[in-house]
Amino acid sequence: MTREIIGMVFILLGIMFDFFGVLGLVRLPDVYNRLQAATKCVTFGSAGILFGVFIIQGFNNFGFKVLIGIVFIFLTSPVSAHAISRAAHRSKIPLAKESVVDQYQEDNELRD
C-alpha cells in the first residue's frame, strides 16, 4: 500500500513536469529557450513517470522493462538535444531579441 502511494507521488510529479515543459515549449520565444525548457522538463517528467511505475510494479518483468527505459532515456535525450541545438546554431537560426551574449559564435570567430 505504501509502495503504491509513493509510486503515485512520483507519477504525479512526472506529469506535472511534463505539463510545464510542454507549456515552455509553447510559450518561450526562441529555439534554444524552447529546447532548454522542453528537454529538461520532459526528461525529468517521463523518467519520473517510469520510476513511479517501477516502484509500483517491483522486480517483475514490467519493472525491469521500465528500468531499462529509464537508463535509455537518460543516455539518449541529452545527446539528441545537443545535436539539435548545434545544428540549429550552424544553420544560422537567429537568437531572440532579448538575448545578450552568444559565446559559441565568439569562439568560432576567434578560431577562424
Phi/psi at 30 (5° precision)? -140, 160
- The Cα–Cα gap between 38 and 32 comes to 10
Q: Answer yes or no whether residue 21 interacts with other proteins by CB under 8 A.
A: yes
Residue 26 or 110 having the CB closest to other proteins: 26
Q: Answer yes or no whether residue 1 interacts with other proteins by CB under 8 A.
A: no
Q: Please, are residues 10 and 50 in contact by the beta-carbon 8 Å criterion?
A: no
**The C-alpha cell that represents 52 in the structure block:** 513511479
Secondary structure class of 36 (helix, strand, coil): helix
Query: Binding residues for other proteins, per CB under 8 A?
Result: 11-12, 14-15, 18-19, 21-23, 25-26, 31, 34-35, 38-39, 42-43, 45-46, 49-50, 53, 56-57, 60-62, 65-66, 68-69, 72-73, 76-77, 79-81, 83-84, 86-88, 90-91, 93
